[in-house]
Amino acid sequence: MLRTIGSTFSSSSQWYNKQIQLIDSIKNQINNYFPKKSNLIINMTWFGPQFENNNEYAKFQEYVHYCEIDNIFLLASEDPCFYNKEETKQLITDSGASQSFLLGHFDTKYNFNFHSTVIGDFFPNYNEKDLLLEQAKYTFLNYNRKPRDHRTSFVEMLDSLNLSKFGIVTLGNDRTLNETVDEYNEGNWGMKNDLGIPHDISSLGRLEYWKNHFLTVVSETDFEDHLWTFITEKTWKPIIGLRPFVINGQSSVYKYLQRHGFRTFNKYWSHIDLETCDIDDIHKNICSVIKFLQTQDLEQLYIDMLPDLRYNKERFYEFSLEQKYKMENLFA
C-alpha cells in the first residue's frame, strides 16, 4: 500500500511536469522495492503546520493516527524543506514508521539535486562566445525576485555602502502562488531596476547584461545553515554561464559544490572569508569582495579564471546526468 501526502506546484509552473514525473518515478521505485509494505510519501513542498491554508499536515496527522506505517519517505526536491534537522527527526518519530528514507536535498545517501536536472534540460545551448566576458562594465550582477529577508538586507547594505552603482541589482515584490508562467516571466512586480530582465528559471536573462558583468552574486533561496542545504537553479546559472560567483545564502553551498567536484573562487580573494564565516558576516564579506574587485583588472582576472570556469561548466553537465541517474535508481 502506498499513500502520498503533500502539495505540488501549480500546473502553470515551469517546474510542474518535472515534479510530477519525479513523484511518479519514486512511486514506481517504492512499489518495486517495498511491494508488501505500508508506505507513505510526504512531499515536503510547503508542508507543515505553519501553512494554515494547506491541509496536508492535517491529513498526515489523521493518517498516522489510524494507520500503521512501515516506511516513510520524505521528499524535498524543488522547494526547501521548512523543517530543520531536529524537526525532521521529530516528524519521523510522530509517524511511527519502522524505517525512514530522506530523498532529495537531505544530507543522506538518497541525496539528489533536482534543480540541476531541470535546468540541464531547459537551458538554451549557449555558445561560449555568448557567455565570455566582453567588457567589465559591471563589477557584479545580483538578481533578486522574491524579497526574502536576506536579499533585502543585502541590497540595503549595497545601497548604504554606495556599491550598487558598480553592478546590476534587481529586487521584486512578493507574488502569489497562483501567478501564471507568463506573469512570472514578465517581471512586472515592482522591480528595483527592472531593466526588462526576464526572471525565469531557464535562461541567463538578457545577454547584454550577462556578457558585461564579472561576478555573479547568487541570491539563493535559503540563508540559515540550520536547515538542509538547498541549491537551486540560481547557483547553477553562473556555473553554466562561465562566471565566478559568491553566495548570498547558506555557506554550506560552497562545501556541497566542492564535495561534488566543482571549483569555488575564494582563492582569488583569500583574505576575505566567505566559505566558513559566521552567518552575520556574509553580507559584509560579499561587499568586501565587491570593493576588492574595484581595485583589480577584471578582464585580466577573468582570463586567469577561465580554466576554472570552463571546468565548472563541463562538470555541471556531468553532474546533471549523475543526478538523473540517482533519481531513477534511489534504492538500487
pLDDT tens for residues 55-67?
Answer: 888 999 999 999 9
Residue 195: CB partners within 8 Å, gap ≥ 6?
A: 168, 170, 206, 209
CB-based contact 293:215 (threshold 8 Å): yes
Determine the pLDDT at residue 179: 46
* Phi, psi dihedral angles at 93 (to 5 degrees): -60, -45
Q: Which residue intervals of the chain bear CATH 3.40.50?
A: 119-322
pLDDT higher for 203 or 184? 203
Q: What is the pLDDT of residues 118-162, one digit of tens each?
A: 987 888 889 999 999 999 999 999 999 888 899 999 999 999 999
Q: Give dist(CA 129, CA 134) in Å, integer.
A: 9
Residue 201: per-residue pLDDT: 77
Which CATH number applies to 119-322: 2.60.40, 1.20.120, 3.40.50, 3.30.160?
A: 3.40.50
Integer angstrom CA distances of residue 192 from 80, 143, 202, 286, 294? 25, 10, 21, 20, 23
pLDDT tier at 168, thresholds 50, 70, 90: very high
Lowest mean pLDDT among 1-5, 98-102, 256-260, 289-293: 1-5
pLDDT of 285 strictly over 50? yes
Residue 47 has pLDDT above 50, yes or no: yes
pLDDT above 70 as % of the chain: 91
What ranges make up the beta strands (E) of 7-129? 39-43, 71-76, 99-104
99 strand-pairing partners? 71
Cα–Cα distance, 65 to 58 (Å, whole number): 11
pTM: 0.90
Q: Report pLDDT for 79.
A: 86
Q: In this structure, are residues 7 and 47 in contact, taking their beta carbons and an 8 Å threshold?
A: yes
What mean pLDDT value characterizes the chain? 89
